[in-house]
Amino acid sequence: MTSLPNVTINMAMTLDGKVSRPDGRWYGLSSRNDKKRMDEIRSKAEVLILGKNSILNDDPVIHLRYVEDGKDPRPVILLRSGTLPEDKKVFRFSKEPPLIFCLNENYSLVRDNLCSVAEIILIPGSDLSPLEVLKVLSERGYREVLLEGGPSLNDSFFRLDLISRIYITIVPFLIGKTDLPSITGGRKEYPDFDQNRWKLVTSEILENEVFLMYEKQE
Protein backbone atom coordinates (compact mmCIF):
# COMPACT_ATOMS: atom_id res chain seq x y z
CA MET A 1 0.00 0.00 0.00
CA THR A 2 1.33 3.47 -0.86
CA SER A 3 1.74 5.87 2.04
CA LEU A 4 -0.48 8.89 2.48
CA PRO A 5 0.65 12.28 1.13
CA ASN A 6 2.22 14.84 3.47
CA VAL A 7 -0.34 17.39 4.57
CA THR A 8 0.66 20.94 5.50
CA ILE A 9 -1.61 23.64 6.89
CA ASN A 10 -1.14 27.34 6.24
CA MET A 11 -3.21 29.90 8.12
CA ALA A 12 -2.95 33.53 9.24
CA MET A 13 -4.25 34.49 12.68
CA THR A 14 -4.58 37.66 14.73
CA LEU A 15 -2.76 38.32 18.01
CA ASP A 16 -5.82 36.93 19.81
CA GLY A 17 -5.79 33.76 17.71
CA LYS A 18 -8.73 34.46 15.39
CA VAL A 19 -8.74 33.41 11.76
CA SER A 20 -12.02 35.00 10.76
CA ARG A 21 -13.49 38.50 11.00
CA PRO A 22 -16.86 39.02 12.73
CA ASP A 23 -18.51 39.04 9.29
CA GLY A 24 -17.23 35.49 8.67
CA ARG A 25 -14.63 36.46 6.12
CA TRP A 26 -10.87 36.98 6.05
CA TYR A 27 -9.68 40.07 4.21
CA GLY A 28 -7.59 43.14 4.83
CA LEU A 29 -5.60 41.74 7.76
CA SER A 30 -2.65 40.11 6.00
CA SER A 31 0.13 42.00 4.30
CA ARG A 32 1.78 41.63 0.94
CA ASN A 33 4.57 39.71 2.70
CA ASP A 34 2.02 37.17 3.89
CA LYS A 35 0.51 36.80 0.43
CA LYS A 36 4.00 36.31 -1.00
CA ARG A 37 4.76 33.71 1.67
CA MET A 38 1.46 31.99 0.93
CA ASP A 39 2.44 31.68 -2.74
CA GLU A 40 5.88 30.30 -1.81
CA ILE A 41 4.20 27.64 0.32
CA ARG A 42 1.64 26.92 -2.40
CA SER A 43 4.37 26.52 -5.00
CA LYS A 44 5.78 23.57 -3.04
CA ALA A 45 2.44 21.76 -3.04
CA GLU A 46 0.88 19.64 -5.77
CA VAL A 47 -2.61 19.93 -4.38
CA LEU A 48 -4.38 22.77 -2.57
CA ILE A 49 -7.41 21.82 -0.47
CA LEU A 50 -9.89 24.63 0.11
CA GLY A 51 -12.89 24.67 2.47
CA LYS A 52 -16.38 25.09 1.09
CA ASN A 53 -17.30 27.98 3.40
CA SER A 54 -13.98 29.66 2.70
CA ILE A 55 -14.75 29.56 -1.03
CA LEU A 56 -18.28 30.85 -0.45
CA ASN A 57 -17.19 33.63 1.93
CA ASP A 58 -13.82 34.71 0.55
CA ASP A 59 -13.69 33.48 -3.06
CA PRO A 60 -9.89 33.11 -2.80
CA VAL A 61 -7.44 33.74 -5.62
CA ILE A 62 -5.80 30.41 -6.32
CA HIS A 63 -3.17 31.15 -8.96
CA LEU A 64 0.38 32.08 -7.98
CA ARG A 65 1.10 35.79 -8.30
CA TYR A 66 4.37 36.24 -6.43
CA VAL A 67 6.43 33.18 -7.45
CA GLU A 68 7.92 33.27 -10.92
CA ASP A 69 7.85 29.99 -12.84
CA GLY A 70 5.97 28.31 -10.00
CA LYS A 71 3.36 25.70 -10.83
CA ASP A 72 -0.11 26.24 -9.38
CA PRO A 73 -1.19 23.34 -7.17
CA ARG A 74 -4.38 21.64 -8.30
CA PRO A 75 -7.38 22.80 -6.23
CA VAL A 76 -9.33 20.17 -4.31
CA ILE A 77 -12.72 20.76 -2.70
CA LEU A 78 -14.71 18.53 -0.32
CA LEU A 79 -18.51 18.81 -0.55
CA ARG A 80 -20.58 16.71 1.84
CA SER A 81 -23.80 18.47 0.91
CA GLY A 82 -25.01 20.89 -1.72
CA THR A 83 -22.78 22.36 -4.36
CA LEU A 84 -20.94 25.61 -5.14
CA PRO A 85 -21.61 28.42 -7.61
CA GLU A 86 -19.57 27.93 -10.76
CA ASP A 87 -18.61 31.60 -10.94
CA LYS A 88 -16.17 31.25 -8.01
CA LYS A 89 -12.55 32.08 -8.89
CA VAL A 90 -11.45 28.54 -8.14
CA PHE A 91 -13.48 27.39 -11.16
CA ARG A 92 -12.75 30.34 -13.42
CA PHE A 93 -9.01 30.72 -13.03
CA SER A 94 -7.58 27.27 -12.22
CA LYS A 95 -4.98 26.05 -14.67
CA GLU A 96 -6.18 22.49 -14.01
CA PRO A 97 -9.84 21.79 -13.28
CA PRO A 98 -10.43 21.39 -9.53
CA LEU A 99 -11.04 17.94 -8.12
CA ILE A 100 -14.28 17.79 -6.17
CA PHE A 101 -14.98 15.00 -3.69
CA CYS A 102 -18.60 14.45 -2.84
CA LEU A 103 -21.03 11.85 -1.50
CA ASN A 104 -23.91 9.89 -3.02
CA GLU A 105 -26.30 12.40 -1.52
CA ASN A 106 -25.07 15.36 -3.58
CA TYR A 107 -23.26 13.63 -6.47
CA SER A 108 -25.95 14.28 -9.10
CA LEU A 109 -26.35 17.88 -8.05
CA VAL A 110 -22.60 18.54 -8.14
CA ARG A 111 -22.21 16.72 -11.46
CA ASP A 112 -25.11 18.61 -13.10
CA ASN A 113 -23.81 21.88 -11.77
CA LEU A 114 -20.03 21.65 -12.06
CA CYS A 115 -19.00 18.84 -14.44
CA SER A 116 -17.86 21.32 -17.10
CA VAL A 117 -15.47 23.11 -14.71
CA ALA A 118 -14.28 20.34 -12.37
CA GLU A 119 -13.53 16.64 -12.11
CA ILE A 120 -15.91 14.99 -9.68
CA ILE A 121 -15.10 12.00 -7.50
CA LEU A 122 -17.70 10.10 -5.54
CA ILE A 123 -16.68 8.76 -2.13
CA PRO A 124 -18.93 5.83 -1.19
CA GLY A 125 -20.76 5.90 2.15
CA SER A 126 -22.11 8.79 4.17
CA ASP A 127 -18.89 10.27 5.56
CA LEU A 128 -16.55 12.39 3.48
CA SER A 129 -13.50 11.29 5.41
CA PRO A 130 -10.23 13.16 4.79
CA LEU A 131 -8.51 9.78 5.00
CA GLU A 132 -10.41 8.51 1.95
CA VAL A 133 -9.64 11.75 0.12
CA LEU A 134 -5.92 11.39 0.85
CA LYS A 135 -5.97 7.76 -0.31
CA VAL A 136 -7.39 8.83 -3.68
CA LEU A 137 -4.86 11.67 -3.96
CA SER A 138 -2.08 9.20 -3.16
CA GLU A 139 -3.33 6.76 -5.82
CA ARG A 140 -3.13 9.62 -8.30
CA GLY A 141 0.49 10.21 -7.37
CA TYR A 142 0.13 13.38 -5.30
CA ARG A 143 2.63 13.54 -2.43
CA GLU A 144 2.46 17.14 -1.15
CA VAL A 145 -0.89 18.49 -0.06
CA LEU A 146 -1.55 21.99 1.28
CA LEU A 147 -4.67 22.66 3.32
CA GLU A 148 -5.67 26.31 3.66
CA GLY A 149 -8.65 26.03 5.99
CA GLY A 150 -11.07 26.99 7.15
CA PRO A 151 -11.07 25.76 10.71
CA SER A 152 -13.79 23.09 10.24
CA LEU A 153 -11.94 21.39 7.46
CA ASN A 154 -8.61 21.74 9.29
CA ASP A 155 -10.23 20.13 12.33
CA SER A 156 -11.35 17.05 10.43
CA PHE A 157 -7.75 16.49 9.29
CA PHE A 158 -6.20 17.24 12.72
CA ARG A 159 -8.67 14.89 14.40
CA LEU A 160 -7.41 12.00 12.28
CA ASP A 161 -3.81 13.01 12.92
CA LEU A 162 -3.19 13.64 9.21
CA ILE A 163 -1.26 16.92 9.47
CA SER A 164 2.52 16.92 9.66
CA ARG A 165 3.38 20.63 9.28
CA ILE A 166 1.76 23.93 10.26
CA TYR A 167 2.62 27.36 8.86
CA ILE A 168 1.18 30.26 10.85
CA THR A 169 1.42 33.96 10.20
CA ILE A 170 0.66 36.19 13.17
CA VAL A 171 -0.90 39.43 11.98
CA PRO A 172 -0.80 42.54 14.18
CA PHE A 173 -4.50 42.94 15.02
CA LEU A 174 -6.79 42.12 17.95
CA ILE A 175 -10.42 41.37 17.12
CA GLY A 176 -11.59 40.70 20.65
CA LYS A 177 -14.92 39.02 19.94
CA THR A 178 -15.55 35.62 21.48
CA ASP A 179 -16.83 32.74 19.33
CA LEU A 180 -14.57 33.49 16.40
CA PRO A 181 -12.62 30.39 15.32
CA SER A 182 -8.93 29.68 15.64
CA ILE A 183 -6.92 27.68 13.08
CA THR A 184 -8.87 24.59 14.05
CA GLY A 185 -12.11 24.05 15.85
CA GLY A 186 -14.27 21.09 16.71
CA ARG A 187 -16.70 20.42 19.53
CA LYS A 188 -14.26 18.25 21.47
CA GLU A 189 -10.63 18.56 22.40
CA TYR A 190 -8.06 16.33 20.77
CA PRO A 191 -7.17 13.27 22.84
CA ASP A 192 -3.83 13.74 24.68
CA PHE A 193 -3.47 17.25 23.28
CA ASP A 194 -1.10 18.11 26.13
CA GLN A 195 1.14 15.14 25.37
CA ASN A 196 1.65 15.96 21.70
CA ARG A 197 3.94 18.94 21.41
CA TRP A 198 4.65 20.48 18.01
CA LYS A 199 8.24 21.33 17.20
CA LEU A 200 9.07 24.89 16.16
CA VAL A 201 11.25 24.57 13.05
CA THR A 202 11.47 28.14 11.74
CA SER A 203 10.46 31.59 12.94
CA GLU A 204 10.92 34.80 11.04
CA ILE A 205 9.97 38.41 11.57
CA LEU A 206 9.14 40.45 8.50
CA GLU A 207 8.13 44.01 9.21
CA ASN A 208 5.19 43.72 11.61
CA GLU A 209 4.34 40.03 11.21
CA VAL A 210 5.75 36.76 12.52
CA PHE A 211 6.01 33.67 10.30
CA LEU A 212 6.20 30.35 12.12
CA MET A 213 6.56 26.78 10.96
CA TYR A 214 5.94 23.82 13.24
CA GLU A 215 6.29 20.12 12.53
CA LYS A 216 4.71 17.20 14.27
CA GLN A 217 7.06 15.54 16.73
CA GLU A 218 7.21 11.81 16.18
Ligand X SMILES: NC(=O)c1ccc[n+]([C@@H]2O[C@H](COP(=O)([O-])OP(=O)(O)OC[C@H]3O[C@@H](n4cnc5c(N)ncnc54)[C@H](OP(=O)(O)O)[C@@H]3O)[C@@H](O)[C@H]2O)c1
The residue ranges that bind ligand X (CB under 6 A) are 11-12, 19-20, 24-26, 51-54, 57-58, 78-82, 128, 130, 148-153, 156
CB of 13 to ligand X, least distance (A): 6
Cα 27 from Cα 83, distance rounded (Å): 24
Q: ∠ CA 175-204-155 to the nearest 5 degrees? A: 55
Whole-Å CA distances, 167 to 20, 37, 95: 17, 10, 25
Nearer to ligand X (CB atom), residue 103 or residue 217: 103
Q: ∠ CA 149-138-191 to the nearest 5 degrees? A: 50
CB of 148 to ligand X, least distance (A): 5
Cα 68 to chain centroid distance, Å, stands at 22
Rg of the chain over all Cα atoms, to the nearest angstrom: 17
CB of 47 to ligand X, least distance (A): 15
CB of 69 to ligand X, least distance (A): 25
Nearer to ligand X (CB atom), residue 79 or residue 142: 79
Nearer to ligand X (CB atom), residue 98 or residue 151: 151
Nearer to ligand X (CB atom), residue 35 or residue 71: 35
